[in-house]
Amino acid sequence: MADEVVHREQWGSRIGLILAMAGNAVGLGNFLRFPVQATENGGGTFMIPYFIAFLLVGIPLMWIEWGVGRHGGERGHGSTPGMLEALWHHPVAKYLGVLGLFMPIIVLIYYCYIESWTLAWTFFSLTGATQGLDEAGMRAFFGSYVNLQNGTVHGFWTPFIFFFITIAVNFWVVSHGLTRGIERLAKIGMPLLFIFAAILVVRVLTLGDQTVMVNGVATTSSPLAGLDFMYSPDWSKLTDPSVWLAATGQIFFTLSVGMGSLAAYASYLRKTDDIALSGIATAATNETAEVVLGGSLAIPAVVAFFGVSGAVAIASGGSFDLGFIAMPLVFNQLPGGAIIQSAAGFMWFGLLFFAGITSSVAMSTPVLSFVEENWGWTRKQTAWTLGAIAVAIGILHIVYNTRGFLDEWDYWAGTFGLVVLALVETVLFVWVFGPEKMWAELHHGAQIRIPRFYKFILTYVTPTFLIIMMLWWFKEDALPTLLMADETPERSVVRWASRGVMLVILVLQLLLIRAAWKRRRLAGKEVA
Amino acid sequence: MMSTGALIFMVGAWTFVLGLTFWAYGRLLKADASHEPLPPPGTSL
C-alpha cells in the first residue's frame, strides 16, 4: 500500500502552479516586513547575510517543502499529518504533522484581519479619506480603525465589515477549487501586483530631491539616498549575530516555508512533475518582488520625504506604521494633485491586498485538504465552514487587537512555530527518510540537476541553521514572551485567553487527526 | 545620491535576483515545449 498512487485534483497549467506558489510566498512581508527589517538592521549590512541565507536556507527549504508535499500527495495526503507519516512510519509522525494544520489556520485568521486593513485602505484611497492629513491626523485615522475608537474617525462596524468582505472573498475563491479558484486568482492577482509595484517604483525613484526637516534644520533628501542606505554595508556590523538571525528569519518568512501551505500546494503535483526548477522559480519570483520591488518602494519613498534618520525612526515603529501611516503621508506629498495621490494609494494598498490574498488562500489549503480527504466533504462545504469559523474567531482579533491577542498568535504560530515545523520537515525528509532517497525524490521529473554540493547543504547546513535559529529565538524571545515580562494585568488576561483559544484549536486538531486515522483503519486503509 | 559602492552592490543584487528569475522561467518555458524529465541521479544520462 505504501507505493499506491492516489489520484487527486491537479494543477491546470505550469504557469498557474508557479504563480500560485509564488503568490503563496509573496505576501505582506515582502513590502512591509522586509523594508523594516532591512532598516532596523543597518540597511546594506542586512543584505549580505540575507542573500547568504537565501542560498543556504531559503532555496533548500523550498525544495524540502515541495518534496515533502509531492511525496505525500502521491499517497493521497494534502496535509502534513499524512505527509510526515509517509516519510516516517511511526505513530508519532501524524501528530507532529498537526503543526501543518495548526499554524496555517491560526495565521490565516489574523492574516485575513490585517489583509482586511489593506482592502479598507484601498477603498479609503479611492475616496480620498486620507488626503490632506498630517502625521497626527494619519495616526488618529489608523488608530481609530484598529482600536475600534467608535465615532472618532471611523464607525464602530467599519473594521468588521471589511473583515467579513475579506473572509468572503477568500473563501469564495477557495470554494471554487484548485484550478478554477486558486489558480485563476494567481493568474489575475500576481500580474496586477507586479504591475502596480512596478508603476510605484518608477514613480518613487523619479521623485528627485525633496526638502526635509531633520532636527529642525532644512536639508535635501531623495529616493536615491534611500537606495544608498539599503545597499551601503557597514562591514563591522557583520559580526553581530542578531543581524544574521534577522536576515535568516526574513528569508524564512518571506518564502512562507514551515507553514505547510507550500507542501499542500505541492501535493497536487504529479510524480513526474518537476520540483527542482519550479522551486527555484518560485523562490526567485518572491525575491524579485521583495528585493527589486519591495526594497525600492517604502524605504526610498520614506527617506525622500523624511530623511534617513526619519525613516529609521518610522521603521522602529513597525511595519504598520510604515505601510499605513508613513506611505499615505508620502502619497499626500506627491506632485500631480488629488487624482495622482489617490491612484498611488490605490495601487499601494491594492498590491498589498493581492499579496495578502494570494497567501491567505494558500493557508486555508492544508485544512481544507485534511477535511475533504478524511471526511469526504465537498470543497464548497469545507470552505464555507472554515470561513464561518474564521469569522467567529477573527472577531476576537478585532475586539482585542490592542491588548495583545493578535501578537500572541503572531509570535507562537506565525514566528516560532514556523521554525519548529520547518525543522521537523527537514529532519524527517533529510535524515529519517534518508539523504539518498531525499536526493532521488528531488530529482524525480527534474528539469535541472541540482548542484551536488546542495546535498551537503540540505543534509547538514540547513538543519544547523534552523537549530541555531530556534535555540536563539527561544532564549531571546520565547521565554520573555512566555513569561510576559513587564506586561500590564489587563493585557496579561487577554494574552492568556489568546493562548487558551490557540490551545483549544490545537487539541481539537489533534483529536481530529486521531479520529481520521481511526476512520482510515476501520475503512481498511493503510496510511502511509 | 548613491555612492559607487552602494550602486555596485545594488546592481549586483538586482542582477542576481532578476538573472535567477529569468533563467528559471526561461528553462521552464523551454522545457514546457518538450518536457523530458531527467533520469534520477546515479544513472547515466
Beta carbons of A447 and B2 less than 8 Å apart: no
* Residue B5, all three cell numbers: 559602492
The closest alpha carbon to A277, from A364, A408, A269, belongs to A269
> How confident is residue B41, by pLDDT bands cut at 50, 70 and 90?
low
Smallest Cα distance from A455 to chain B, Å: 12
- Residue A312: phi and psi, rounded to 5, are -65, -40
Convert the pLDDT of each residue in A65-114 to its tens digit: 999 999 999 999 999 999 999 999 999 999 999 999 999 999 999 999 99
The closest alpha carbon to A278, from B35, B40, B13, belongs to B35
Q: Which pLDDT score is estimated for B39?
A: 56
Nearest CA in chain B to A234: B6
The closest alpha carbon to A253, from A220, A218, A286, A223, belongs to A286
The closest alpha carbon to A174, from A108, A237, A83, belongs to A108
Q: Concatenate the DSSP letters of all residues of A444-504 into one string.
A: TT-SSPPPTHHHHIIIIIHHHHHHHHHHHHIIIIIHHHHHTTT--HHHHHHHHHHHHHHHH
Beta carbons of A231 and B37 less than 8 Å apart: no
C-alpha–C-alpha distance, residues A161 and A173, integer Å: 18
C-alpha–C-alpha distance, residues A289 and A30, integer Å: 7
C-alpha–C-alpha distance, residues A129 and A122, integer Å: 10
> Do A1 and A75 contact (CB within 8 A), yes or no?
no
With beta carbons under 8 A apart, name residues in chain B contacting A443: 38, 40-41
Q: Which pLDDT score is estimated for B40?
A: 57
Q: Which pLDDT score is estimated for A297?
A: 95
Provide the percentage of residues in chain B whose pLDDT is more than 90. 56
ipTM of the complex: 0.89
With beta carbons under 8 A apart, name residues in chain B contacting A47: 9, 13
Interface of B with A (CB under 8 A): 1-3, 5-7, 9-10, 13-14, 16-18, 20-21, 24-25, 27-28, 31-32, 35, 37-38, 40-42
Beta carbons of B10 and A287 less than 8 Å apart: no
Q: What is the pLDDT along chain A (528 residues), one digit of tens a residue?
A: 444 555 678 899 888 999 999 999 999 999 999 999 988 888 888 999 999 999 999 999 999 999 999 999 999 999 999 999 999 999 999 999 999 999 999 999 999 999 999 999 999 999 999 999 999 999 999 999 998 876 667 888 899 999 999 999 999 999 999 999 999 999 999 999 999 999 999 999 999 888 888 777 888 899 999 999 889 888 888 888 888 888 988 998 899 999 999 999 999 999 899 999 999 999 999 999 999 999 999 999 999 999 988 998 998 888 999 999 999 999 999 998 999 999 999 999 999 999 999 999 999 999 999 999 999 999 999 999 999 999 999 999 999 887 888 889 988 888 889 999 999 999 999 999 999 999 999 999 999 999 999 999 999 999 999 999 889 888 887 888 888 877 888 889 999 999 999 999 999 999 999 999 999 998 876 555
Q: How many CB atoms lie within 10 A of CB A493?
A: 14
Convert the pLDDT of each residue in A3-61 to its tens digit: 455 567 889 988 899 999 999 999 999 999 999 998 888 888 899 999 999 999 999 99
Q: Concatenate the DSSP letters of all residues of A67-107 into one string.
A: HHHHHHHHTT--SHHHHHHHHS-SHHHHHHTTHHHHHHHHH
With beta carbons under 8 A apart, name residues in chain B contacting A285: 21
Would an 8 Å CB–CB cutoff place A225 in contact with chain B?
Answer: yes
Smallest Cα distance from B21 to chain A, Å: 5
Smallest Cα distance from B18 to chain A, Å: 6
Does the pTM surpass 0.90? The reply is: yes
* Residue A477, all three cell numbers: 524571545
Smallest Cα distance from A105 to chain B, Å: 31
Q: Which pLDDT score is estimated for B2?
A: 86
> Do A447 and B37 contact (CB within 8 A), yes or no?
yes
With beta carbons under 8 A apart, name residues in chain B contacting A287: 17, 20-21
Among A11, A26, A231, A448, the strongest candidate for a mutation testing the B interface, having the largest count of B CBs within 10 A, is: A231
> Do A61 and A255 contact (CB within 8 A), yes or no?
yes
Q: If you average pLDDT over residues B18-29, what whole number do you get? A: 94
Residues in CB range of A512: below 8 A, 6 or more apart: A370, A374
Residues in CB range of A85: below 8 A, 6 or more apart: A77, A93, A94, A97, A527, A528
Q: Could you tell me how many CB contacts below 8 A there are between chain A and chain B?
A: 89
* Residue A482, all three cell numbers: 512566555
Q: How many CB atoms lie within 10 A of CB A491?
A: 16
With beta carbons under 8 A apart, name residues in chain A contacting B16: 51
C-alpha–C-alpha distance, residues A83 and A77, integer Å: 6
The closest alpha carbon to A527, from A108, A47, A80, belongs to A80
Smallest Cα distance from B14 to chain A, Å: 6
Q: How many CB atoms lie within 10 A of CB A15?
A: 18
Would an 8 Å CB–CB cutoff place A140 in contact with chain B?
Answer: no
C-alpha–C-alpha distance, residues A378 and A372, integer Å: 6
Cross-chain CB nearest to A284 (options B20, B31, B35) = B20
Q: Which pLDDT score is estimated for B45?
A: 46
Beta carbons of B20 and A287 less than 8 Å apart: yes
Q: Which pLDDT score is estimated for A493?
A: 92
With beta carbons under 8 A apart, name residues in chain B contacting A435: none
* DSSP character at residue A323: I
Q: Is A224 helix (H, G, I), strand (E, B) or coil?
A: helix
Q: Which pLDDT score is estimated for B38?
A: 56
C-alpha–C-alpha distance, residues A501 and A151, integer Å: 30
Nearest CA in chain B to A222: B1
